[in-house]
Structure 1
Amino acid sequence: MLNKIILIGRLVREPELRYTPSGVAVARFTIAVDRPFANRQGEREADFIDIVVWQKQAEVCTQYLGKGRLVAVEGRLQIRSYDDSQGVRRKAAEVVAEQVRFLDRPREGQAAAGAGSNDFALAESGYSEVNFSEDDIPF
């Protein structure tokens, strides 16, 4: 069996970083991925896909990524169930990232605090190992 997803898209908002009770970093963000065709009115459409990143890679993504940044995400699809605030059972689909690659540089004035040209290369240097347990999910 195979569960592998590769996406290229732009962040629609800043990543949100949290820590599990055991101290494991987990970040969430959403990317917009263009559809390869236009609708009947000739307008381009996009899918908005939730991404979950773990451990050191979560911290690096939170530090160096922001709204509008272009990324490639490689990971697996995860479907999870939860009860909403009204007690209704819901399902959520998200991609658990194994690797996030930064495909562009921050625009002028968009760089994260302390991020210089050398920091971009450091952030690219790879935190591809992601080990976690389903009990570590804080949301």
Structure 2
Amino acid sequence: MNTVTVVGRVGRDASEDFKAFDSGKTKARFSVAVNRWDSKTKSEVTDWFNIEIWDKQAEFAAEYVKKGRLVAIDGAIANNRWVDKTTNNERENFYIRANTIRLLGSKRDAEEAVL
């Protein structure tokens, strides 16, 4: 089973990477920072996750998912593979293909996080 849930702060507005396709489909991409405790360094570290979301959820994200906003993302791990044209090496990146997004915290929290 491939499911993942992350809760964190948005790193960039979803509207910055929103696309509408001729087919009528829409896609938004943004990043989420998730803090966790690292027992080796005995400090908090931040993991960054790239998020991709489609259609009505993408339209919602483009309007409401802003930098600093606390969100919960439910989805699945996905990956892209390609051959780098410059080096001819195979490349791969992983991201979360979101099924749902929930806005957490108050509007005031989101506004203060951006400041």
- TM-score normalised to the size of structure 1? 0.69
Q: Provide the residue aligned with 1:130 in structure 2.
A: none
Q: Provide the residue aligned with 1:8 in structure 2.
A: 7
The 1:57/1:91 distance shift into structure 2, 3 A limit, reads same
Q: Provide the residue aligned with 1:79 in structure 2.
A: 79
Q: Deviations over 1:18-49 (max 9, x none)?
A: 12341210000110011133652x44211100
Between Structure 1 and Structure 2, which shows a larger proportion of helix residues?
2
Alpha-carbon distance between aligned partners in 2 of 1:45 and 1:109, rounded to the nearest angstrom:
21
1:76 is matched by which residue type in structure 2?
A: A
1:38 and 1:45 in contact (8 A); partners too: no
Query: Secondary structure, in 3 states, of the residue corresponding to 1:60?
Result: helix
Q: Deviations over 1:50-100 (max 9, x none)?
A: 110000110111101110000000010012202345244210101111100
1:78 and 1:93 in contact (8 A); partners too: yes
Query: Secondary structure, in 3 states, of the residue corresponding to 2:108?
Result: coil
Alpha-carbon distance between aligned partners in 2 of 1:102 and 1:72, rounded to the nearest angstrom:
7
Alpha-carbon distance between aligned partners in 1 of 2:71 and 2:110, rounded to the nearest angstrom:
19
Instruction: Report the aligned-residue RMSD.
Output: 2.0
- TM-score normalised to the size of structure 2? 0.82
Alpha-carbon distance between aligned partners in 2 of 1:24 and 1:50, rounded to the nearest angstrom:
20
Unaligned runs of 5+ in 2: none
Alpha-carbon distance between aligned partners in 1 of 2:82 and 2:31, rounded to the nearest angstrom:
19
2:26 and 2:54 in contact (8 A); partners too: yes
Paired residues, number = 108
Unaligned runs of 5+ in 1: 111-139
Alpha-carbon distance between aligned partners in 2 of 1:109 and 1:35, rounded to the nearest angstrom:
20
1:59 is matched by which residue type in structure 2?
A: E
Alpha-carbon distance between aligned partners in 2 of 1:108 and 1:49, rounded to the nearest angstrom:
21
